[in-house]
Amino acid sequence: MTTALIWDDRALRYDFGPDHPLKPVRVELTVALIRACGLPDADGVETLPRAAFGDDDVLRLHAEPYVDTVRRLSARPDPAGDGRYGLGIGDNPVFAGMHEASLEVCGASVAAAQAVWSGRAVHAFNPAGGLHHAMPDRAAGFCIYNDPVAAITWLLAAGAQRVAYVDVDTHHGDGVQAFFYDDPRVLTISLHESGRYLFPGTGFPDEIGSGDARGTSLNVPLPPATPGPVYLEAFDAVVPQALDAFAPEVLVTQLGCDTHVTDPLAHLALTTDDYAALAQRLHGYAHRWAGGRWVAVGGGGYQIASVVPRAWTIYFAELCGAALPPAVPADWLEHATATVGERPPEVFLDGAVRLSPERVAAIRAETGASVESLKRAAFDLLERR
């Protein structure tokens, strides 16, 4: 079975500048680590370029006044941006070429969808993707155009009738939810730090979809400091049952790793061990319910060298069914240290996070309440579909 890595070696142009947390070097270091581990040379692994994705394509997703504004500010950057569309100082600073750079990210995720749906690959990964906050008519949360939506929209246009989207980023996958909130062909599942504590302030159990799609939007908000074992309990309580009821033809996943205990922008407490566990689960789900078809994209993660490359290399090793070396390759460690000025960990797995039993019990109780609230609100509707 073939696994596709969507990548070419031209510099990533989706770059908000040196002081912005979403640095393209984190993706470049990821691909360098994937290569250092020999994964692209494993049997059945193929590196593919992004697909063509132009103005006509993005206008099928985003409102024309918004796209026109992105295009204008891309050609003539004005630091003030345009607040009507979420562009400007703060999360989404304008930069020269941002329209074209955003199209490229979408094209890479569409290429992953094309590879999987056509049968050229069973699994495909775009590490530069996962810009899940972009809304139909505005930028949000470091995201200009929504590439997971581009991939899902392509799949629907190509004939898919049921697409499941699972988002494990620490931030609610609000943009993808918004695009498909009334579309019964798309199941969106997001586990994330509760909007009571973290941007974007949404993603509660009562957000279950509208109209014919009621029951196809599922959200599990989690309290700060949720550790991996509790996170996985919630994941196991929701995701398999939802996929079993929905019976997707293809699985799309957003693999943000800003859930890590050391991430500077959020407050969950997962480790790379938990990413290995999630990868195994998602791989199994793709084969159990979606004929193996698995489209994966990157996402958040702001420990540029110490976490993101290891996390997404763990996921890619699972995607292609290959074993990782016992230690992070020394040549990559030297490269990463020279690139970012800090030495990453020398092993792939971090070990467990230690919290007091009392704190874990409180977190487990709050998480369990979220799961039960979601099930009461949505699961009967989903299972009657």
- Which range marks the domain in which residue 14 is found? 3-52+98-383
* Active-site choice (99, 123, 132, 133): 133
- 302-314 pLDDT, tens per residue? 999 999 999 999 9
Query: Per-residue pLDDT averaged across 224-250, rounded?
Result: 98
Q: What is the mean pLDDT of residues 104-124?
A: 98
Whether the per-residue pLDDT at 89 is higher than 90: the answer is no
- Calculate helix-pair angle for 308-320, 25-36, nearest 10 degrees: 50
Whether 40 maps to a domain, the answer reads: yes
Domain count, the chain: 1
Q: Which of helix, strand or coil describes residue 33?
A: helix
Judged against a pLDDT cut of 90, whether residue 385 lies above it is answered with no
Per-residue pLDDT for 378 more than 80? yes
Mean pLDDT over the full length of the chain: 98
Q: Which residue has the tokens 């596709």?
A: 4
Does residue 343 lie in a domain region?
yes
The tens digit of pLDDT for each residue in 137-157 reads 999 999 999 999 999 999 999
Q: For position 300, what pLDDT does the model report?
A: 98
With respect to residue 93, please indicate whether it lies within any of the assigned structural domains: no
What integer is the mean pLDDT of 257-274? Answer: 98
Task: Give the pLDDT of residue 38.
Answer: 97
Q: Catalytic site residue 133?
A: yes
| Arithmetic mean of pLDDT, 185-204 | 98
In a domain, 69, yes or no: no
Residues 14-59: tens digit of each pLDDT: 999 999 999 999 999 999 999 999 999 999 999 999 999 999 999 9
- CB neighbour list of residue 47: distance below 8 Å, 6 or more residues apart: 4, 5, 6, 7, 40
pLDDT at 1 over 90: no
- Give which of 207, 241, 196, 245 is closest to 385, Cα–Cα: 245
The CATH number for 283's domain is 3.40.800.20
When pLDDT is cut at 50, 70 and 90, the band that residue 123 belongs to is very high
Structural domain contains residue 78 = no
Residue 58, domain member (yes or no): no
